[in-house]
Amino acid sequence: MSTNEIVTEIPGVFRIFEDGTFHRLHVTNIVPAGTDPTTAVESKDIIFSPENNILARIYIPPNKTSDHKSNKLPLLIFYHGGGFCIESARSSLYHNFLNLVVSESNVVVVSVDYRLAPEFPLPVAYEDSWDAIKWIAQHVNGNGPESWLNEYADFKNVFLAGDSAGGNIAHHMAIRVGSSCPDGLEFKGAILLHPYFWGKERIGNESTWIESMVKNLDTLWAIVSPGSSGSDDPLINPEMDPRIAGIGCPRMLVCIGGNCFMRDRDWNYTKIVEKSGWNGDLEVVEDKGEEHVFFLANPDSENACLLRTRICTFINKI
C-alpha cells in the first residue's frame, strides 16, 4: 500500500507526490472582468481556442481614439508570469496591473491565459501563446470574431510583453514572428519584465546562492518541461539558441530588478541579444533595490509608476 509521500516540493509553488499527483501551494486570486472603478478601463474574457477552452482577457481604455493616422490604438499582447505553472490572466495581480497599463498607455491589451504545467508541460504554453497571435490575426480585415479588436486595435502597431515566465514567452514569440509572422500584423516592439531564463553554468552572483535555490530552479524547469534537454535547453537558456538574431521586433525594452534573483541572468540576456547580430534597438533599465516583479505587488510605489511610464513611452514612441 502506497504512503503517497512527497517526492518533490518547490516552496510556495507546488508539491508532487509519489503517485504522480500534485498540489499547488500558490492560490491564484481570480477576479472578474468588467469596468474598473478607478481607471474606467473595460475588460472582458473571450475564448480564443474553443478546442482547448483557452481564454484571453481583453482590455480597452476609456479614451478609445489615437493620435496615429489610423485613429486606432496600439495593441499589446501580454503573457503572465508564474514559472509556467501558476497564476492566470484573470488573477487580481495581473488584472490590476493591466488596468493601469491600459489607462496610462492608452492601448488595447490581449492578456493570454495559456495552459499550465505540470498538467500541460511545455511547449504547450508556447503553442497556446502562438495560437493567440494567430487568432488575433483573424481580425486584421475588421471582420474577426471579437468586436473590440475589429474596432479599436491597430494591427500595424503591435507589441509583445510579459513578466517572468511570460517574459520568456514574449521573447520566444518575438523570435517566432521574425520567421513566420501572420499576415497583416506588424510587430513594433517587445517588453520583457524581469524575464525568466536559466542555464547550467552559474553566472554573476548565482555562484553565491544557497544550493537549494539553484536546485529549485533546476527542478522547476525539469517539471514544467520534462521533454526538454535540461537547463541548457534553448527554451530556457537563450545563449544556446542560434535564432536570437531573428527576433522579429525592431525594438526591445528589458526591465531588470536590482534585487531580483534573475538580475544577473537578465543582464546576461541583454548581452546575448547585443552579440547575436540582431539589428534592433535595445533599451535596458534596472530598478535599484527592487525584487522580482515588484510592480505587481506594489503598483503604487514610485518605481512601479516609473516602470509603467517606461512602458507607455516605449509603446507610444512616434
Per-residue pLDDT tens digits for 28-38: 999 999 999 99
Owning domain of residue 75: 22-316
Does the residue 250 lie in any domain?
yes
C-alpha 151/C-alpha 145 separation (Å) is: 11
Does the residue 5 lie in any domain?
no
Does the residue 251 lie in any domain?
yes
* Total domain count, the chain: 1
Q: In which band, very low, low, confident or very high, does the pLDDT at 63 lie, cut at 50, 70 and 90?
A: confident
Does the residue 12 lie in any domain?
no
- DSSP for 150-192, written as a single string: HHHEEEEEEEEEEETHHHHHHHHHHHHHHHHPPTT--EEEEEE
Q: What is the pTM of this model?
A: 0.96
Does the residue 1 lie in any domain?
no
Mean pLDDT on 82-106? 98
Does the residue 10 lie in any domain?
no
Does the residue 2 lie in any domain?
no
pLDDT tens digits along 228-269: 999 999 999 999 999 999 999 999 999 999 999 999 999 999
Q: Which residues 6+ apart lie within 8 Å of 207 measured at CB?
A: none
C-alpha 164/C-alpha 195 separation (Å) is: 4
CATH number at residue 306: 3.40.50.1820
Q: Tell me the catalytic residues.
A: 164
pLDDT reading at 190 higher than 70:
yes
Does the residue 275 lie in any domain?
yes
